[in-house]
Chain A
Amino acid sequence: MTSKIPVAILGAFLAAGLVAPLATGVSAPGFWFEVLLGGLMAGVLYSLVALGFVLIFKASGVFNFAQGSMVLFAALAVARLAERMPLWAALICAVAIMVVLAFVVERLVLRPLVNQDAVALLMATLGVTYFLDGFGQTIWGSDIYEINLGIKREPVMVLDNVFQGGVLINRDDVAATVVAVILVGALALFFQKTKTGRALRAVADDHQAAQSIGIPLNRIWVIVWSIAGVVAIVGGVIWGGKLGVQFSISQVALKALPVVILGGFTSVPGAIVGGLIIGVGEKMAEVFLGPPLVKALDLAGGGIENWFAYVLAMLFLFVRPEGLFGERRIDRV
């Protein structure tokens, strides 16, 4: 009960920060709502990358640093293949490529490291990151490539009878939200209702115990990396469709790190809620906190949204180290 008090205080503090621009009259309600929506939409995209981290950690206890690179690799594959075939065929081929990649990673990287320290596995995924970044550009190229999802880029104005000037939303952001909701629903069903999903959770709890009751560890790892690969395709296609496919996509993973810290490494809902908090927090901070801060303290200036996401994550670490939805770990000593 007492552990909930600091979380409540932090929550109240952040909520106060959220409505402060409105309460102080710094922002018009319409613009404030627009920034809020923009943050939520960005948060959905972060969540899609964070989901990949959570899935692999949940099922194998491995913090997969390569998730961002998998997003880049998958998006590059879709974009370049779509130049030669219809998009649906490119997506199917990309799924096949990510499954092969999962198989190769399991065979060459994970299998030799079974029952090793988590740090060894983390370092191995770091190696996979650099390999995928370099190899992806070697075979697919390093230009900016397009994924045409057929969504119009022009904004849509809504709620113009509520707010003066209306509120601007983008169709691709709405599409991303719908896809993210469907994906999370499908993953939740998979983990809770299927035999493989339950096996994945058993492996996450204890590798050796799961092996002793006949769960094939190697196959489970291939499956979970394949699922993370499919999540990477979804994330990569949405990011790529919006911004173009280029090396920088892999750096989106750096935004997913505070998301999983905040939401918890083992929680799918945590990845979603964490993504939304980070998305809204950083956009609100960049628009309403950064400029007055620079002016008041006569600072050199500069964007704050990149590091503000980590500040938010750290605040949550102080009050709830396992993350908002993470499992509390209790060790007997």
Chain B
Amino acid sequence: MDKHLKIGLALAALAAAGSLAGEAAYAQQAKEQFFPVLVYRTGPYAPNGVPFANGYVDYLKLVNARDGGINGVKIAFEECETGYATDRGVECYERLKGKGPTGATVFQPLSTGITFALTDKSFGDHIPLITAGYGRADSVDGTVFGWNFPLGGTYWDAADILIQHVGKKEGGVANLKGKKIALVYHDSPYGKEPIALLQERAKMYGYDLILLPVTHPGVEQKATWLQIRQNRPDYVFLWGWGVMNSTAIKEAVATGYPREKMYGVWWSGAEPDVTPAGEGAKGYNALVFLAPAGQGGVHKDIIKYVYDKGQGTGKKEEIGDVLYNRGLTAAMMAVEGVKRAQLKYGKKPLTGQQVRWGLENLAIDDAAIKRLGFTGFMSPIATSCVDHEGGSAAQVHTWDGTKWNVQPGVYHADQQVIKPMIRASAEKYAQEKKLSKRDCAKEAD
């Protein structure tokens, strides 16, 4: 046989085999729900990004191993490393949004900067963004931000709850008049997000708000803490992420600022934030929402169905850490959104648009929390087309040198103050972007 003919036949055979393999893969893929997983396992924010990613992925593995998927629809997932950088986050989004038989289910970027960038894209791509406890505070308004879901709390809620808590310590918020509160914040969209609420509350209660930005990544805070030493604020609110948090606590030790007067947002209150500061972190407080540290029913299942089978993503001893649990809860809410949507659209792989319906009709009540093994790790969440948050409860926990202790008392953000701010900000966004608002009453029909 002619040499060229042989090569031609071999290539044709290869192409046919490839095509068959592709069809087989598609058939396999057809019963899958694809979850893109945006992570940062390297870079300056990796100490916080890794446990969250491990929790997120472990829950997806658990649903496959224990339940055989979401009502029989297997979960497929793929990680993409963003390094907490907005450009890389957008690149990951573009790469993964079309994967799987129905495209990406939902994105959870764990970065307010990436969330800002993806929000604009979501209007065209119709893929929900779950930003539980981060992202834009005004995205609670589902009539404007149709694809964002800041489930369980926003930074305005967090700031409001912190003010309530220090007000309570002072014997009532009225006693905050004349007090000084310093906000040490990551100089980024994330860190700047609570400023509007804190300024609003400062006008109401008469405290003096001192704004102290810390530039990325936050290892250089000498000047910041010298200013704290000069101003001697009554309280310091810490709005940091990654290495910035542990550095802030170390600098507080170095300048002699009492840790008992420091309150972090819920992203500044995990083990990687306090353990590097050693004994110095004792007495430091932070908010906790959705998932404090510890283990419950879901963790037992993860150990049984994932880790004991050698399929664990991280170290077994880190199961139950604050950020691990938060990743776990974030994945659970996404899965529950799909489950809810399956009630309407059927037990098959769903598109992002269909999953949005599920996320807009989430009803994770106490019974569901118990059934899912999350008792003690979250408050109920009930969303709607208008309300994409579904609840905003948080507690304060304190580091005792070895573990976090949750203080009694659950706070709820004061929606009488926050709702008008959300409406005004969302309205402004809609005008700037020339967006037409959704008519939720019509959509319910």
Contact = CB atoms under 8 A, between A and B. Distances in A.
Given A168-B255, A246-B44, A246-B47, A144 B246 contact: yes
Interface residues of A, number: 39
Contact of B219 (A39, A248, A303): A248
Given A134-B42, A153-B250, A243-B250, A303 B214 contact: yes
B90 interface: no
B220 A143 contact: no
Nearest to B210: A291
Contacts of B224: 286, 303
Given A142-B46, A247-B44, A287 B223 contact: yes
Interface in B249-268: 250, 253-256
Interface size class of chain B, counting residues whose CB lies under 8 Å from the partner chain: 35 or more
Nearest to A169: B254
Contacts of B220: 42, 255, 305-306
Nearest to A300: B192
Contact of A137 (B42, B242, B255, B272): B42
Q: Which of B220, B230, B242, B250 gathers the greatest number of chain A CB atoms within 10 Å?
A: B220
Q: Which of A38, A146, A244, A306 gathers the greatest number of chain B CB atoms within 10 Å?
A: A244
Interface in A255-291: 255, 282-283, 286-287, 291
A42 B42 contact: no
A31 B228 CA distance: 11
Nearest to B50: A142
A204 B218 CA distance: 37
A303 B214 CA distance: 6
Contacts of A287: 223, 226-227, 230
Contact of B43 (A31, A41, A154, A247): A247
Contact of A305 (B215, B242, B246): B215
Contact of A303 (B43, B215, B246, B272): B215
Contacts of B218: 248
A142 B217 CA distance: 14
Contact of A143 (B47, B226, B250): B47
B247 interface: yes
A230 interface: no
Contact of B223 (A242, A249, A286): A286
Contacts of A42: 220, 222
Contacts of A34: 226, 229
Contacts of B427: none
Contacts of A194: none
Contacts of B229: 31, 34, 168
Nearest to A283: B223
A132 B413 CA distance: 46
B366 interface: no
Contacts of A27: 230
Contact of B211 (A143, A154, A242, A301): A301
B46 A137 contact: yes
B226 A35 contact: yes
Contacts of A282: 223
Interface string A45-60: 0000000000000000
B42 A247 contact: yes
Q: Which of B44, B223, B254, B280 gathers the greatest number of chain A CB atoms within 10 Å?
A: B223
A302 interface: yes
A247 B224 CA distance: 21
Given A282-B223, A301-B211, A301-B213, A170 B254 contact: yes
Contacts of A39: 222
Contact of A153 (B43, B215, B254): B254
B250 A248 contact: no
Contact of B213 (A38, A137, A255, A303): A303
A153 B253 contact: yes
B53 to A, nearest CB: 12
B211 A248 contact: no
Interface string B233-253: 000000000110011001001
Interface string A157-189: 000000000001010000000000000000000
Interface string B264-297: 0000000010011010100000000000000000
A301 B188 CA distance: 11
Q: Which of A137, A142, A154, A168 gathers the greatest number of chain B CB atoms within 10 Å?
A: A142
Given A144-B47, A246-B44, A251-B44, A38 B217 contact: no
Q: Which of B47, B218, B253, B255 gathers the greatest number of chain A CB atoms within 10 Å?
A: B47
A237 B222 CA distance: 18
A168 B250 contact: no
A155 interface: yes
Interface in A291-322: 291, 301-303, 305-306
A252 interface: yes
Nearest to A291: B227
A26 to B, nearest CB: 11
B187 interface: yes
A302 B243 CA distance: 19
A312 B223 CA distance: 17
Interface string A22-34: 0000010001001
B97 interface: no
Nearest to B191: A302
Nearest to B213: A303
A1 B280 CA distance: 54
Contact of A243 (B211, B213, B219, B272): B219
A32 to B, nearest CB: 10
A153 B256 CA distance: 9
Contacts of B227: 287, 291
A142 B222 contact: no
A283 to B, nearest CB: 5
Interface of A: 27, 31, 34-35, 38-39, 41-42, 134, 137, 142-144, 146, 153-155, 168, 170, 242-244, 246-249, 251-252, 255, 282-283, 286-287, 291, 301-303, 305-306
12 contacts: A35-B223, A39-B222, A41-B222, A154-B254, A168-B255, A170-B254, A242-B250, A243-B219, A247-B43, A301-B213, A302-B213, A305-B215
Interface of B: 41-44, 46-47, 50, 187, 192, 211, 213-215, 217-220, 222-224, 226-227, 229-230, 242-243, 246-247, 250, 253-256, 272, 275-276, 278, 280
Instruction: Give 6 closest A-B pairs by Cβ, nearest first.
Output: A286-B223, A142-B46, A244-B276, A303-B215, A248-B217, A248-B44
Given A146-B278, A242-B250, A246-B47, 5 more contacts: A38-B222, A142-B41, A144-B47, A247-B243, A305-B220
